[in-house]
Amino acid sequence: MGANIFDPANLTGAIITLAVLSFLIKDNPVFDLFQHGFVGLYFAYSIGLTYHSYIRPTIVDDIVKKGHYSYVIPVILGLLVYFMFVPSMNWIARYPMSFWVGYGAGYILAFQPGTLMPQIYNTFIRFYGKATFLDNLNAILLFIGVITALAYFFFTVRKQGTAVGLAAETGRWVIMIALGAAFGSTVLYRITLFVGRMQFLLGDWLGLLK
Amino acid sequence: MIERLQSIDRRIIYVLLILVIALALLKPIGLPVKVGPMTKSMYDAVDALPAGSVLWIGMDFNQSSKAEQYPMLSVILDHAFRKNVKVVSFAMWPNGGQIFDQLAAPVAKKYNKQDGVDYLNIGYKPGGSVALRAMVTDINTAAAGVDQNGKPLASTPLGQQVKKLSKDYVGFIVDIAAGDPGTTDYLNYVSTPEKIPMATAVVNVSVPGEMPYVQSGQYKGLMGGLRGAAEYEILARAPGKAASGMDSQSLGAALIVLFIIFGNVGYLASRGKK
């Protein structure tokens, strides 16, 4: 791979990457400059994206040009949210919110059980069938893990010296192991992001990688 | 003395990490990468698609997960085009459509595939899962009639062929996702109700959360992080940036584990003194 040190895109990317990484030494004005620049750029991009993705296609194209006047109703419903900034009339903002919550709940309830049921079923079904010793061991551990993790969240029953207490204590360990796995994955993800930046700096920018 | 291990200057750790990762990239040592069962089953599912069938790729990530997910998309496209499988992509994330265009071009050129004929980039359409669900009814309406670059879908052969995101038109779904909206939306609103088999390609941090769906058979496979992408590259015999980054990732992770051990040894030593 040849070096593209002065290619504008590569040079800009390299300067920004190094400026952001300079935070590893300590907080400094160069890092602050690019951090604020990023926030500003992202904010401006979000406004442009919202306008071009939602506002213009609905108001300009659909309502004004195509004459779909029924779309005015959701637009008005959306605008009612801004009544939350008027203290004496903020109750009006609850109407669009209640509509969205109702719509969202109905939408999710229509589809989610189909996805969740196999999860519940799978927790139990693997106890028998054509499986190796390790498969069965895995199934037993999964079953114990699910039941004990759920037991940990039984806050309304007496736990001290009871079977529920023992299950809850086991569940606490299961949850800690799960969180440990999640933390490990997060660390690995961050390393990968850094590897990606190094591939860019050493390869795309400096041309040192084959 | 040993207790000082728990207060090593973080800048020393950073410098060592930079050195280890840079050296592993410059002088790869070729640590072995064993292909895992989740990546293998995903590869097998894509490999089993007959020529001419349609693979739907969800583009639900952006540049922030470039290191892991650009190689994922490249290798899946390479595999699909080599098998003469047609590809339709749709993005619930704003930059997904642009990224697909950027990465599909070189792979399409390699296999002499044409935009609109062999692959179709519907691109980003706002609305998240609602837009996705609308694709099940009618892609043309849900996409406002145009692809990522404003070209009418009806003017392309593949746009005319694939009318709905349903089992009649789509053989398999691979969602490349870095968060929400993403894979669970495909599972809830498309794969489960429409009975279209699917697999997912997610960032490393999402792997523990998605694994139960592989074990239950709801996903036909999972490509997890850079490691998953490298495994797929090995299976597809298309080595790319994922395989070349594995040495760096493995050695970087080993270094961090080493410092975690140092920290714990230091902590135990200081506790023993008290």
Q: Looking at B38-42, B63-67, B80-84, which range is the least confident one?
A: B63-67
What is the distance between the alpha carbons of residues B222 and B213, in angstroms, rounded to a whole number? 9
Distance from CA of A24 to the nearest CA of B (A): 7
Please state which CATH number belongs to domain B37-239. Answer: 3.40.50
What residue ranges of chain A have pLDDT lower than 50? none
Task: Give the per-residue pLDDT at B20.
Answer: 96
Q: Distances from the Cα of B33 to the Cαs of A175, B14, B226, B231, in angstroms?
A: 29, 26, 11, 7
CB contact under 8 A, B245 and A192: yes
Asked if A203 reaches chain B (Cβ–Cβ under 8 Å), the answer is yes
Is-contact A122 A115, C-beta < 8 A?
no
Show the beta-strand stretches assigned E in chain B.
54-60, 86-91, 119-124, 172-177, 198-202, 222-224
Distance from CA of B80 to the nearest CA of A (A): 25
A155 phi and psi, to 5 degrees? -90, -5
Q: Distances from the Cα of B86 to the Cαs of A140, B50, B55, B124, B138, in angstroms?
A: 42, 10, 6, 19, 19
Beta bridge partner(s), residue B175: B58, B200
Task: Give the per-residue pLDDT at A124.
Answer: 74
Q: Give me the mean pLDDT over the B177-196 stretch.
A: 95
Q: Where residue B220 falls among pLDDT bands split at 50, 70, 90?
A: very high
Task: Give the per-residue pLDDT at A128.
Answer: 58
Asked if A155 reaches chain B (Cβ–Cβ under 8 Å), the answer is no
CB contact under 8 A, A122 and B216: yes
Rounded mean pLDDT of chain B? Answer: 94
Q: Give me the mean pLDDT over the B71-81 stretch.
A: 97
pLDDT tens by residue, B155-175: 999 999 999 999 999 999 999
- Statement: residue B237 has pLDDT above 60: yes
The residue behind tokens 């000082």 is: B4
What is the distance between the alpha carbons of residues A38 and A25, in angstroms, rounded to a whole number? 20
Residue B99, both tokens = 């990224």
Q: In chain B, what are the domain boundaries?
A: 2-28+250-273, 37-239
Q: Give me the mean pLDDT over the B82-111 stretch.
A: 97
Asked if A13 reaches chain B (Cβ–Cβ under 8 Å), the answer is no
Asked if A202 reaches chain B (Cβ–Cβ under 8 Å), the answer is yes
Task: Give the per-residue pLDDT at A3.
Answer: 66
Q: Where residue B48 falls among pLDDT bands split at 50, 70, 90?
A: very high
Q: Give me the mean pLDDT over the B225-237 stretch.
A: 95
CB contact under 8 A, B225 and A192: yes
Select from A188, A202, A204 the residue whose CB has the most chain B CBs within 10 Å, as the one to mutate to test that interface.
A188
Task: Give the per-residue pLDDT at B68.
Answer: 94
Task: Give the per-residue pLDDT at A4.
Answer: 80
The residue behind tokens 């999972």 is: B222
Select from A143, A195, A204, A206 the residue whose CB has the most chain B CBs within 10 Å, as the one to mutate to test that interface.
A195
